């Protein structure tokens, strides 16, 4: 499996300019290419990077005929969800549709129809994948052929996200950093496009202000306060889009033990699409927590719903 990096957007922030990059993962047999799968990473809009899509998922998508694209977006909280993650993801979607096919044919001799595109994402990236349906005929006339939402953010006004948690951290968890330390995240300008998540192989990691900010804001029920103004919720939440009978075919994969994104949100979204006659599937993975698929192998039993999601995407592409 080989990959290529392309700059898909140049952005200005105050007096500084930066590039946003997409990594294009090619299958070993490029003659099998049928479509583009555009992936958005998770991390609560605060951490994460385009490198977070596991190799197992890339391999499964490649085998199903997809060129896999993973893209940057600017991270909060020094930029809003609308101006950072959503705006940058829309730019990546339009670039993947309109410019990437020409680049691939010129650079690698690969021919793919940019209209033959699906989206997928983990956590907040699942919400971004759903938002690519925000189509207006003048600007984006070609919505995704299908969507794979892996425990994605939706129904963002629900009290679940704003109540905080009473669950106590384990005894061996690091002590909460000071407010002064956490608030240093607001000094990180321009907004980064990659940041280490607060959970790793050695457990909870609060060693950076950004990691500490994400964990503390989720615990306190304030995770959206600095990044979603009240008048922008409808523009960053897929909830209303899901009510359309023309919504693309969508597959939801969700762990039942998820305490970051309640399983009820995938159940609600699935029920809404079913009511409106939209082709949709829901796979609830019993006892699995948020991010359960991060380190799975292809032959693990719990990879089966991920594979079913990939198969769902493949059934809805042309060719």
Per-residue model confidence as pLDDT tens digits over 258-271: 999 999 999 999 99
Predicted pLDDT at 142 = 87
Residue 137 has pLDDT above 50, yes or no: no
What was the pLDDT predicted at 200? 73
Q: What is the mean pLDDT of residues 223-248?
A: 96
pLDDT computed for residue 188 by the predictor: 94
**Residue 135 in this model has a pLDDT that exceeds 70:** no
Query: Is the model's pLDDT at 293 over the cut of 50?
Result: yes
- Decide if pLDDT at 37 tops 50: yes
pLDDT on residue 248: 96
Are 228 and 80 within 8 A, CB to CB?
A: yes
Alpha-carbon span 319 to 147, nearest angstrom: 17
Which stretches of the chain are assigned E, i.e. beta strand?
A: 2-13, 16-26, 35-40, 66-71, 117-122, 147-150, 199-200, 203-204, 250-255, 280-285
- Provide the mean pLDDT of the chain: 94
Residue with tokens 């991390």: 43
Q: Percent of the chain, pLDDT > 90?
A: 87
Residue 63 has pLDDT above 70, yes or no: yes
pLDDT at residue 168, as a whole number: 66
C-alpha pair distances (Å), 28 with each of 14, 24, 100: 42, 13, 18
Could you give the percent of the chain with pLDDT greater than 70?
96
245/88 Cα distance (integer angstroms): 27
3-state secondary structure of 197: coil
Q: Which tokens belong to 194?
A: 């990659």
Query: For residues 145 and 116, what is the distance between their CA atoms, to the nearest angstrom?
Result: 7
pLDDT of residue 287: 97
Confidence of residue 308 (pLDDT cuts 50, 70, 90): very high
Structure confidence at residue 151 (pLDDT): 98
pLDDT at 170 over 80: no
Where does the pLDDT of residue 140 fall: very low under 50, low under 70, confident under 90, or very high at 90 and above?
low
Query: What is the mean predicted confidence (pLDDT) over 215-237?
Result: 96
Distance between CA atoms of residues 264 and 258, nearest Å: 10
Lowest mean pLDDT among 11-15, 269-273, 305-309: 11-15
Q: Rounded mean pLDDT of 288-302? A: 96
The CATH number of the domain covering residues in 2-160+230-315: 3.40.50.1820
Domain boundaries, the chain: 2-160+230-315, 164-220
What per-residue confidence (pLDDT) applies to 77? 98
């Amino acid at each position: 499996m080989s990959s290529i990096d392309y700059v898909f957007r140049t952005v200005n922030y105050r007096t500084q300019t930066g590039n946003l990059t997409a990594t294009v993962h090619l299958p070993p047999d490029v003659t099998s290419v049928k479509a583009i799968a555009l992936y958005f990473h998770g991390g609560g809009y605060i951490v994460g990077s385009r490198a977070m899509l596991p190799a197992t998922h890339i391999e499964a998508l490649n085998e199903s005929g997809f060129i896999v694209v993973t893209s940057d977006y600017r991270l909060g909280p020094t930029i809003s969800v609308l101006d950072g993650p959503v705006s940058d993801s829309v730019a990546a979607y339009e670039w993947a549709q309109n410019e990437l096919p020409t680049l691939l044919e010129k650079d690698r001799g690969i021919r793919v129809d940019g209209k033959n595109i699906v989206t997928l994402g983990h956590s907040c990236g699942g919400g971004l994948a759903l938002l690519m349906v925000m189509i207006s005929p003048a600007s984006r006339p070609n919505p995704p052929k299908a969507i794979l939402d892996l425990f994605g953010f939706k129904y963002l006004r629900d009290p679940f996200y704003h109540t905080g948690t009473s669950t106590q951290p384990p005894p061996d968890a690091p002590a909460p950093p000071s407010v002064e330390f956490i608030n240093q995240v607001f000094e990180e300008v321009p907004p980064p496009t990659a940041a280490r998540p607060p959970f790793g192989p050695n457990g909870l990691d609060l060693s950076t202000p950004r990691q500490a900010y994400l964990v503390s804001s989720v615990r306190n029920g304030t995770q959206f306060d600095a990044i979603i103004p009240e008048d922008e919720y409808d523009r960053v939440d897929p909830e209303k889009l899901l009510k359309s009978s023309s919504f693309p075919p969508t597959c939801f994969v969700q762990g039942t033990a998820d305490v970051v994104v309640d399983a009820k949100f995938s159940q609600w979204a699935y029920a809404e699409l079913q009511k409106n006659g939209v082709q949709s599937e829901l796979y609830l993975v019993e006892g699995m927590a948020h991010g359960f698929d991060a380190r799975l192998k292809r032959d693990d039993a719990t990879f089966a719903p991920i594979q079913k999601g990939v198969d769902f995407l493949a059934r809805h592409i042309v060719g």
